[in-house]
Copies of this chain bind each other. A is one copy, B any other.
Amino acid sequence: MTAAKTRARSGGRGRPSKATGLDLKETILDSAEGLFARHGFHGVTTRQVASEAGVDTALIHYYFGAKRELFDAVFLRRADILNQARSVSMDAYVKTFGGRMTVEGVITAFIDPLLRISQEGGGGWKSYFALVAQVNNTPAWGGETMARFFDPVVHQLVDTLKIVRPDAEYRDLYWCYQFLTGSMMLALSETGRIDSLSEGLCHSSDLEAVRARLFAYCAAGFEAVVARSGKA
């Protein structure tokens, strides 16, 4: 299991050179990602993953160990990229605007990297976001999984917002973040519900429409909550 994983990764003397080995590993991750995103962890069998990747079932266990470890590998693969993109985006915003920062600006710096990646990063990212959205709404183990991978950058967001609105209470900021993440994840997962609900007026794949509204929506929400709390 873990031994196999380590062994495969290190590759003592002869390391893979052609379209095998690590390439195949990525292929397996791609297939698993798409299937997990569509049907959830329990809705996918290792055989389905193997079949779609065009490999033997045993190869999955050889590379990743148990099914759950495969899932974690899928989740982990893009999490770092995501966190770094967001962190860089927020740092840049703070550096550029300094004392002239706005709530909407901070929120844009936090969300926009995800929209851009989803638009430009290739099909795998859309599956990944759908996957994260599903995990985010999973009571059994979703909370801890999200925390494990995404807590730091969220704290960066909250702390930056606290700089912009020093009088805001942390309680309000955390609640507002939860509202924000609910909206954001649902938008990113592109479930197609808004398409039928609006009878073709809106399309969940239209992330440009999301961009044109979500930042302003969340920012106004933040301001309203902070203002109301300050009053009471």
Contact = CB atoms under 8 A, between A and B. Distances in A.
Interface of A: 37-43, 130, 133-134, 136-140, 142-144, 146-147, 151, 154-155, 170-172, 174-187, 189-198, 201-202, 209-210, 213-214, 216-225, 228
B224 A220 contact: yes
A141 to B, nearest CB: 9
Contact of A221 (B143, B171, B193, B218): B218
Contacts of A39: 42, 140
B137 A136 contact: yes
A215 B210 CA distance: 21
Given A172-B213, A186-B182, A224-B216, A40 B42 contact: yes
Given A185-B182, A196-B147, A175 B216 contact: no
Given A39-B140, A175-B194, 12 more contacts: A38-B140, A40-B40, A40-B43, A43-B140, A130-B139, A136-B137, A174-B202, A175-B209, A179-B217, A182-B182, A182-B186, A220-B223
Contacts of A138: 40, 134, 191
Contact of A197 (B130, B140, B174, B202): B174
Contacts of A218: 179, 221
A109 to B, nearest CB: 18
A191 B147 contact: no
A178 B137 CA distance: 16
A174 B194 contact: yes
Given A183-B178, A213-B172, A221-B221, A196 B228 contact: no
A127 to B, nearest CB: 9
